Amino acid sequence: MKVLVIGSGGREHALVWKLRQSPRVSQVYCAPGNGGIAEEAECLPADVKNLDSLVAVAEQVRPDLTVVGPELPLSLGVVDEFTRRGWHIFGPSKAAAKLESSKSFAKEFLQRYHIPTAHFAICDSIDEVLAALPHFHAPVVVKADGLAAGKGVVICRTKEEAASAAAEMFSGKTLGEAGRRVVLEECLQGDELSFLVLSDGERVAPLVAAQDHKRIGDGDTGPNTGGMGAYSTASIVDEPMTQWLLQHVARPVVTGMKAEGAEYKGILYCGLMMTARGPMVLEFNCRFGDPETQPILMRLESDLLEALEASIEGRVSEGDFRWSRDASVCVVMSSGGYPGTYELGKKIMGLEDAGKIEGVKVFHAGTTRRDGAFFTAGGRVLGVTSRAPDLETAVDRVYAAASKIGFEGAHYRKDIASRAVKK
Ligand code: AMP
Ligand code: GLY
């Protein structure tokens, strides 16, 4: 079978790596891919913001299955377009992807189905924000309604800050159309959890849970990023909690979407806050998480291809995945300055030595390959990932590997999974 993966990050590298292990996969393509992916798949130039470009790639390679990594092509309707042409593609339709592409839609949906989430208000003007703010306690979370590549959420210590963050979003200067509508939210406290399930539109199968580390700095300081590291262990969510999340979050979402005529197929990523009042939904993503996919797939022992096909063909069952009891950790190495401005084209050293450490796989995100060497080409550059029988060893391995890698301005957090290790 020929498989095409759409995207160019660490998540897509992990998908390519895992799909290649399927005995039924003969060839993997990636559009557009990156320097590291090019070692394992044939990369083809493509613009993920442009459906015509993705259709052209698929016409060229004629894949038996296409797997979509990022949210943007999903929100543009790549699944609808490929399905209309009779091509097999994994992921939700444009209508179903609205759970991620519109935060106001997601919040009203959560409310309709009594799924626990933070108290909120949807505002279309600064006057509406000013009228709603007295009903909130500071801190207040201000969110742009549309897709904002991780930059659409501001946690404001005061209501004045919240008003000015909302005004900035309405101005359209930083986030464009994504900020034309704003969601105000109560600020929740607790541990964050990424709980992903595979759905076929009716049934769901849970993946192992992971914890992301969103802030740029150690101790969860500094601005939010796409994710600076993640880990997954068997103990992160126990079986009763998994069942609770399936019953009170994942299944009601899938059932609700079907009832509303927008059947949800693909990965449903539930971003949760584990609060004193119980788990509450922070957000949905309509795709695999990045970097969560790297440690999650490191623990997957069954065939990923079979699971993705079960979603498309409507035969998902709860036991579709077989997982290792091992722990896994991913540490993201980023360009100096990220998530602000940064320079590109820095030569990356030490990749081979890092990859030789037991249980380690270095996934590439923003890299290019030139004359046998790798250079930085994005904010998040690498996802150094390890697997080991226990979390402590996985942490030791991942940091031993990261310390072997260097490029000018390289940054990574030194405390990924440290709170879980202390527990
Ligand atoms: P989102 O894109 O909605 O997940 O927001 C990005 C990040 O902002 C989340 O991963 C949380 O760290 C934080 N966040 C979002 N909503 C809230 C909230 N209601 N309370 C506290 N933190 C939040
Ligand atoms: N790591 C968060 C995300 O994939 O959106």
Residue with structure tokens 């590439």?
364
What pLDDT score was predicted for residue 149?
A: 76
- The whole model's pTM is what? 0.96
- Number of H-type helices and E-type strands within the chain: 15, 23
Q: Which domain holds residue 144?
A: 119-186
Q: Domain check: are 291 and 380 in the same one?
A: no
Return the exposure string of 104-137: e unless at least 16 CB atoms fall within 10 Å of the residue's CB, then b: bbbbebbeebebebbebbbbeebebbeebbeebe
Predicted pLDDT at 148:
83
Domain of 8, CATH number, reads 3.40.50.20
Check which CATH number belongs to the domain holding 147 and give it.
3.30.1490.20
Nearest atom (ligand 2) to Cα of 289: 4
| Interacting residues of 191 by C-beta distance below 8 A, sequence separation 6+ | 211, 273, 274, 419
Q: What are the backbone dihedrals phi and psi of residue 30, each rounded to the nearest 5 degrees, phi first?
A: -140, 135
Same domain, 152 and 266: no
Say if residue 337 is in the same domain as residue 286.
no
CA of 217 relative to ligand 2 center, distance in Å = 17
Residue 16: predicted pLDDT:
98
Task: Tell me: do 45 and 139 sit in the same domain.
Answer: no
pLDDT at site 176: 79
Q: Is residue 318 part of a domain?
A: no
Instruction: Looking at the CA of residue 291, tell me the nearest atom of ligand 2.
Output: 1
Q: Does 374 lie in the same domain as 308?
A: no
Choosing from 132, 166, 186, the residue where a domain stops is 186
Do 178 and 195 lie in one domain? The reply is no
How far, in Å, from the CA of 339 to the mean position of ligand 2? 14
Say if ligand 1 is within 6 A of residue 192 CB.
yes
198 and 303 in a single domain? The answer is: yes
Determine, yes or no, domain membership for 108: no
**Domain check: are 203 and 287 in the same one?**
yes
DSSP state of 406: B
**What are the residue ranges in the chain where pLDDT is below 70?**
423
- State the first-to-last Cα distance of the chain, in angstroms, to the nearest integer: 44
Does residue 70 lie in a domain region? yes
Q: Specify whether 38 is located in the same domain as 139.
A: no
- The CATH number linked to 260 is 3.30.470.20
**Residue 114 included in any domain:** no
Domain boundary among 90, 108, 143: 90
* Whether 24 and 53 share a structural domain: yes
Q: Give the pLDDT of residue 423.
A: 66
Q: Which of 330, 296, 335 is nearest to 401 (CA)?
A: 330
185 lines ligand 1 (CB under 6 A): yes
Q: Is residue 338 assigned to a domain? A: yes
Ligand 1 pocket, residue 100 CB under 6 Å: no
Same domain, 334 and 372: yes
Q: Are residues 309 and 331 in the same domain?
A: no
Residue type, 210: A
C-alpha–C-alpha distance, residues 42 and 54, integer Å: 15
Where is the domain boundary, 127, 162, 186?
Answer: 186
Residue 180 counted as domain residue: yes
407 C-alpha to center of ligand 1: Å?
31
Determine the distance separating the centroid of ligand 2 and the alpha carbon of 297, expressed in angstroms. Answer: 15
**Encoded tokens for 109:** 């949906």
Residue 357 maps to which CATH number? 3.90.600.10
Q: Is residue 156 part of a domain?
A: yes
Shortest-distance Cα residue to atom 5 of ligand 2: 289
Burial (Cβ within 10 Å: 0-12, 13-18, ≥19) of residue 219? exposed
Three-state secondary structure call for residue 264: coil
Is residue 98 one of the residues assigned to a domain? no
Residue 32: is the preceding peptide bond cis (ω within 30°)? yes
Number of domains in the chain: 4
